[in-house]
Amino acid sequence: MSNGLKALLAALTVTTALGTAAHAADLPVRSAPPAPIVAAVPVFTWTGFYVGVNAGYGWNTNDDDVVIPGVGTFEADDEGGFVGGGQIGYNYQIGSFVLGVETDIQYADIGGDNNFGGVLDDDDSDSWFGTVRARVGVAFDRALIYATGGLAYGEVSNGFYTSDDVSVGWTLGAGVEYAFTDNLTAKVEGLYVNLEQDDDDLPVIAGRDETEFGVVRAGLNYKFSSY
């Protein structure tokens, strides 16, 4: 083979190699697509401040037999009635346990208009009470079962007399609450309230010097986000 032919073959080989490399460089690069970025879904928590409103029914649980010396024995015309108001509170969740504090103020149409044969006339249509309570509960995701108790105060008839002074006592209860959204919750709650009346304000009557009543109410809360 002549030197000229060898040079020609070498030139063709180099040209072919360069053309193949250039063609390969023009081909699209095939690689695995990037993994999709999935945002983490926040887990619901009961932790946070909330405000709300409530409404329900209250009834006096006192013994209504009243003995007035020299006059006779009378039975007060106790009646249950509407209870409604607002509340504000804070919850803190630790695992499945929820600790909180709540205060509320309530209008209470409890006791009716009691008139003991004209001897006493007790119109307690302006009755009211409030509470400052601790709440301890167990959360099942968006459902909360809790017990509650603490301080109670207010002006509510004890069945035969309403003091003009604010009475102070205690309250105990329980309830269940459910979060329909991250911010909106609803609850059903029952309370027993005991208020001590000031003996100095009571007439000379052989009756009870405390106010006892029960309350069943439903409430709606707006929970501020804690994320």
Q: How many CA atoms, within 13 angstroms, populate the side-chain half-sphere of residue 53?
A: 3
What is the reported pLDDT for 106? 97
More confident residue, 43 or 118: 43
Instruction: Determine the average pLDDT of the residues in 10-39.
Output: 59
68's tokens: 């007035």
Q: What angle do CA 172, 175, 176 make, to 5 degrees?
A: 165
Highest-scoring range by mean pLDDT, 60-64, 108-112, 136-140 = 136-140
Contact 84, 110 (CB under 8 A): no
- Give residue 8's pLDDT: 55
Are 93 and 47 spatial neighbours (Cβ–Cβ below 8 Å)? yes
pLDDT tens digits along 186-225 = 999 999 999 987 655 545 444 556 789 999 999 999 999 8
Which residue in this structure is represented by tokens 């063609």?
23
Q: Is the pLDDT of residue 177 over 90?
A: yes
Query: H/E element holding 213?
Result: strand 210-223
Cα 74–chain centre separation? 42
d(CA 176, CA 14): 85
User: Which one has a higher pLDDT value, 65 or 217?
Assistant: 217
Residue type (1 letter), 222: Y
Three-state SS letters, 100-119: EEEEEEEEECCCCEEECCCC
User: What pLDDT was estimated at residue 204?
Assistant: 46
pLDDT digits (tens, 9 = 90+) for 158-172: 655 556 678 999 999
Q: Which pLDDT tens digit goes with each residue over 68-120?
A: 666 655 555 556 899 999 999 999 999 999 999 999 999 999 865 555 545 55
- Domain ranges (residues) in the chain: 48-223
Helix H or strand E segment including 195? strand 184-196
Supply 22's token pair. 């250039």
Is residue 10 pLDDT above 70, yes or no?
Answer: no
Percent of the chain with pLDDT over 90: 49
Mean pLDDT, the chain, as a whole number? 79
CATH topology of domain 48-223: Porin (2.40.160)
* Residue % of the chain over a pLDDT of 70: 57
